[in-house]
Structure 1
Amino acid sequence: MSNTFTFDPGPRVVSGEGVNADLARLLPDGPVLFVTDANLRALGLADAALEGLSKCDVAVFDDVREDPTEQSVLDAVALGRAIGATSVIGFGGGSPMDVAKAVAYLLGTGEEIGEIYGVDVAQGQGLPLVLVPTTAGTGSEATPISILTVGETSKKGIVAPALYATWAVLDASLTIGLPRHVTAATGIDAMVHAIEAFTTRRLKNPISDALAKEALRLLSANIATACDEPDNFAARDAMLRGSYLAGVAFANAPCAGVHALAYPLGGHFHVPHGLSNALMLPHVLSHNMPAAREMYAELALEIDPSLAGLGTQARAQGFVEALRAITTQTGLSPRLADVGVGADSLDLLADEAMKQERLLINNPLPINRNDALRMYEAAL
């Protein structure tokens, strides 16, 4: 790890119970585009936020699905232009926030979406953007990354500092009562962010390391309680904070092989992103062990301090086993077969994983097509 590094702390943060009801004070004057999804609106989760914006001119765009599409972004941009939006709010899980980031950028710059895919291509200035997560997992509120589905199954990323939000609003009351499977999948997703930020081959640095370790400590200590006691505010608050810290960490020290192998599961089989990460996590960790053993041994102490007396190899193996145990404890399905993926699809998945070059270059150990195929077979 080099002593020379650049670190971007990302958005300013407002945190606290009920703070989502007071978003107007974070926005400039003028019309507001509120990006969310129809399910959250139906559940009433956005009611307090929208009520707090009642004196503003607000247009709500709620046609956002899981694995958000490029078309959703274009439709939301059209609505934003129609009202003359001067700011954007992204309210929800990773999907509405990813859409909102791209929309705020395009509304501010007038650029075409096809021109900004890739890393550091988007160089303009977007509209002021406030992101309000309703799950503790994606960390999207902390990152300058928007992942969109283009066409039927292809995923493309817009990755540039211009996509950072102006404000991230962390209100754990919005995550109270989330279903167990959503709590589990998003929580594992956040843990993967922390692990991959700490072990990335590129741009690893002391600040992201510190954030990743604290994130993993918070998440691993609270995920079971959040699953078992969905109304436990302290656990929910810790999970949301851990998710945010992991987001800041991987925004600076990027994700790698777990995400590379997870994305095709979302694109082709619509497996929720957090669950697809959980499915591939132990197999990628095992693959990376020769290169990442000492880093896994260090992370192990954040999850289980009782491993401190063991040697590096035993601690690293204990780390992998502890993560398997957490996945099982939360009730997530540990096999690809449980989500409808059969052996006849593994070649397709391996081919698609090889397209995730943006992620694969960060993995501590190279992953070729045969490696990917072997890991998918192990996950069956």
Structure 2
Amino acid sequence: MTPFAYNTTTNITFGSGSASRIAELAPVRGAGACLFVTDPGLIRHGLCDATLSALRDAGLHVTVFSEVEADPSLATLMAARDAGRAAEVDLVIGFGGGSSLDVAKLAALLLGSDEDIDAAWGVGQAKGPRLPLVLVPTTAGTGSEVTPVSIITVGEGEKRGVSSPVILPDAAVLDPDLTLSLPAPITAATGVDAMVHAIEAYASTSANNNPISRMQARQALQLLGANIETAVFDGQDIEARGAMMLGSMLAGQAFANSPVAAVHALAYPIGGTFHVPHGLSNALVLPHVLRFNAPAAHDIYAEIAADAFPDLAGIADPEASCAALIEALANLSRRLQMPTRLRDVDIPESALAKMASDAMIQTRLLMNNPREVTEQDALDIYTAAW
């Protein structure tokens, strides 16, 4: 067995209503003032109310920063940092989807250490320390509450990441009640995103791919595959919602330690340039990247095919099992009524070459792919997806 390192969030709380009991957590009990990072939609729909009331009832001075947008910009991150500085906070709470959680992670870093963000981009470059950090996801997809990764959009659409155990939160609160009002399209896209995390983590060629991550990836696929359609089409099913949250978290733990690869690398230009939601960006290229990888990874994909789709268990031949998995994933997107082609999200064919060039920037992801991806390969994958 090869050496590996495994890191995750120190404290994880799961259960209906748990977000309203946030003041019971140790990092919150020890704080006097907190920066609450979220997005305007969650404020508008009152989803934050119970959590904010619990914090204020516990005596905390709460500064709400609710300007986080999809694919958050560097300017948004700096505005969150400035709001925290002005309020002299000693705790950061992220509440929302992956964008809010990513901003909260880096706001905690910048507020705790005054670190230069330009020096923190990349793997293992963030030094810290950071402020105490609690994350409360409202979607079941990103797994950001248990990952050491934060993605920010810089300039005209380039996505840059900070990957460091320093930004793993002290606590994560998983409350499936927060996902009950999530619209079907977002439920579908975030759910497929979580499945991508599990698949890429399991097949990652990272030297840190390890037995714990592989076990979590398989458990995640079992939960996600069995519950995603129920969660999408019967959104009030709390059991399905809870299973999706657990599956998303497990997939997050898996890819936090065994990093994702070409699906994400090719998804980033879609989201960064055309502002397609991250989960949908992944779904659009997923089957095409897996078909490209299949000659080098069909045995690996065959091992997890029945985890996601139990009816594939009877296929003995690895190549046939891999092909069936890829087709099942493509069919799942269709059943979930998701767009399945790049042209369906208004990406012109003329943009594909630039997207392929942009994807090559994501070397920290491409290095984990089971098969080497050239710029021409990326263009061919985009063309197949178009």
Q: TM tier, shorter chain? A: over 0.9
Superposition deviation, residue 314 in structure 1: 1.3
Q: Please point out which of 77, 83, 95 is paired with 1:79.
A: 83
Corresponding residue for residue 40 of structure 1 = 42
What amino acid sits opposite 2:55 in the alignment? L
Distance, in Å, in 1 between the alignment partners of 2:227 and 2:213 is 21
Q: Give the letter for the 1:47 counterpart.
A: D
Measure, in 1, the Cα distance between the counterparts of 2:253 and 2:10.
Answer: 9
**Aligned partner of residue 165 in structure 1, secondary structure:** coil
Match of 1:332 among 332, 338, 357: 338
Letter of the structure 2 residue corresponding to residue 280 of structure 1 = V
1:344 to 350, 354, 362: 350
Cα offset, 1:303, TM superposition: 2.1
> What do residues 203-247 of structure 1 show as CA deviations (whole Å, max 9, x unaligned)?
211110000000011001100000110111000000000000000
- What does residue 51 of structure 2 align with? 49
Q: Using the aligned pairs only, state the percent identity.
A: 50
Which ranges in structure 1 are unaligned for 5 or more consecutive residues? none
Counterpart selection for 1:267 from 256, 262, 272:
272
Residue 68 (structure 2) aligns with: 64
CA contact (8 A) 2:135 2:173 kept: yes
Shift of 1:89: 0.2
Residue number in structure 1 paired with 2:311: 306
Kindly indicate whether the alpha-carbon contact (under 8 Å) linking 2:8 and 2:168 is maintained by their aligned counterparts in 1: no
Task: Give the alignment's TM-score, normalised by structure 1.
Answer: 0.98
Q: 1:357 aligns with which of 334, 339, 363?
A: 363
Letter of the 2:44 counterpart: A
Q: TM-score when scaled to structure 2?
A: 0.97
Q: Which residue of the partner structure matches residue 32 of structure 2? A: 30
Q: Distance in 1 between matches of 2:203 and 2:353?
A: 27
1:284 to 278, 286, 289: 289
Number of matched residues?
379
Once the two structures are TM-superposed, the CA of residue 77 in structure 1 deviates from its matched residue by 0.8
2:14 corresponds to:
15
Aligned ranges 1:170-189 → 2 under 5 Å: 170-189=174-193
1:29: Cα distance to partner?
2.4
- Give the 4+ runs in structure 1 shifted more than 4 A: none
CA contact (8 A) 1:101 1:165 kept: yes
Q: 5+ unaligned residues in a row in structure 2: which ranges?
A: none
CA contact (8 A) 2:84 2:111 kept: yes
Deviates more, 1:110-119 or 1:187-196: 110-119
Q: Is the 8 A contact 1:20 1:132 kept in 2?
A: yes
1:83 is displaced (CA, Å) by 1.1
Instruction: Determine helix, strand or coil for the equivalent of 2:313.
Output: helix
What is the distance in 2 between the residues matched to 1:290 and 1:269? Answer: 31
Report the alpha carbon displacement of residue 291 of structure 1 after superposing the two structures with TM. 1.1
Is the 8 Å Cα contact of residues 112 and 130 (structure 2) preserved in structure 1?
A: yes
Separation in structure 1 between the aligned mates of residue 181 and residue 51 of structure 2, nearest angstrom: 18
**Quick check: 1:303–1:322 contact (8 Å CA) kept in 2?**
no
Matched, 1:251 2:250: no
Deviation track 1:101-157 (CA, whole Å, cap 9, x = no partner) reads 000011111112122111101122111100000000011111011100111211110
Q: Which amino acid aligns with 2:78?
A: L
- Distance in 2 (alpha carbons) for counterparts of 1:147 and 1:258: 15
Of stretches 132-141 and 26-35 in structure 1, the one that deviates more from structure 2 is 26-35
Aligned AA (2:382): Y
Q: 1:116 aligns with which of 108, 115, 120?
A: 120
Q: Cα deviations across residues 178-217 of structure 1 (Å, max 9, x unaligned)?
A: 1110000000000000000000011211110000000011
- Give the drift of 1:5: 1.4
Aligned partners of 2:225 and 2:309 also within 8 Å: no
Deviation, structure 1 residue 315: 1.0
Contact 1:145–1:157 at 8 Å: present in 2 too?
Answer: yes
Deviation at 1:307, TM superposition (A): 2.6
- Give distance in 1, aligned partners of 2:351 and 2:292: 21
1:83 and 1:59 mapped to 2: Cα distance? Answer: 7
How much has 1:173 moved relative to structure 2?
0.1
> For residue 6 of structure 1, what is the amino acid of its counterpart?
A
Q: Does 1:293 align with 2:298?
A: yes
